[in-house]
């Protein structure tokens, strides 16, 4: 029998890890992109990797300004948000060659928003046969690559795109 150990997830699943009042605002203001897994910065939004991803390469596109609703975004913020989603899909395609994507926003706590006062767009790459029994029966996700390697590759892909 094989065992899969993921002790780093314990503080997340147990609820012991306390989130600051506005984690995304703090990350947006921080200069430590590597520690915060920020892979790209724009004028009104940034892209970061999800530290507890649904799938390898799970990225979040986040406005710097904390807003809970899409209607609260200024026109230029809305435009850049969706342009950045498009750039993120392109970078993930080039870096990891997924066959599809799930893209979405959870608005409000009842819709699953973990930080309901700061909207963000999930960009989740998908591959054929990327789901298995582990999630359904063990409540565990198995990722084929390390988060740090995904971060490094995605930063390089975004940098190459900006040349």
Specify whether 120 is catalytic: yes
Which token pair is 159? 């940098």
- Which one is catalytic: 118, 120, 122, 143? 120
DSSP 51-116: SS-SSTT-EEEEESS--SSGGGS-HHHHHHHHHHHHHHHHHHHHHH--SEEEEE---SGGGT-SST
Beta bridge partners of 121: 61
3-class state of residue 94 by DSSP: helix
Specify whether the backbone of 37 is left (phi greater than 0), alpha (psi in -120 to 50) or beta: left
3-class state of residue 122 by DSSP: strand
Supply the residues annotated as catalytic.
120
């Amino acid at each position: 029998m094989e065992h899969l150990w993921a002790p780093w997830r314990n503080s997340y699943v147990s609820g012991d890890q306390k989130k600051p009042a506005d984690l995304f605002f703090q990350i947006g203001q921080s200069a430590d992109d590597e520690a915060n897994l920020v892979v790209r910065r724009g004028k009104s939004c940034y892209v970061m990797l999800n530290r507890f991803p649904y799938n390898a390469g799970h990225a979040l596109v986040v406005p710097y300004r904390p807003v809970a609703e899409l209607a609260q975004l200024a026109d230029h913020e809305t435009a850049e948000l969706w342009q950045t989603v498009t750039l993120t899909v392109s970078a993930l395609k080039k870096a990891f060659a997924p066959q599809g994507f799930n893209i979405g926003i959870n608005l409000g706590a009842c819709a699953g928003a973990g930080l309901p006062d700061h909207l963000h767009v999930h960009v989740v790459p998908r591959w054929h046969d990327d789901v298995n029994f582990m999630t359904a029966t063990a409540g565990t996700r198995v990722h084929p690559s390390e988060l740090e390697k995904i971060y490094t590759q995605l930063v390089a892909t975004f940098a190459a795109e900006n040349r």
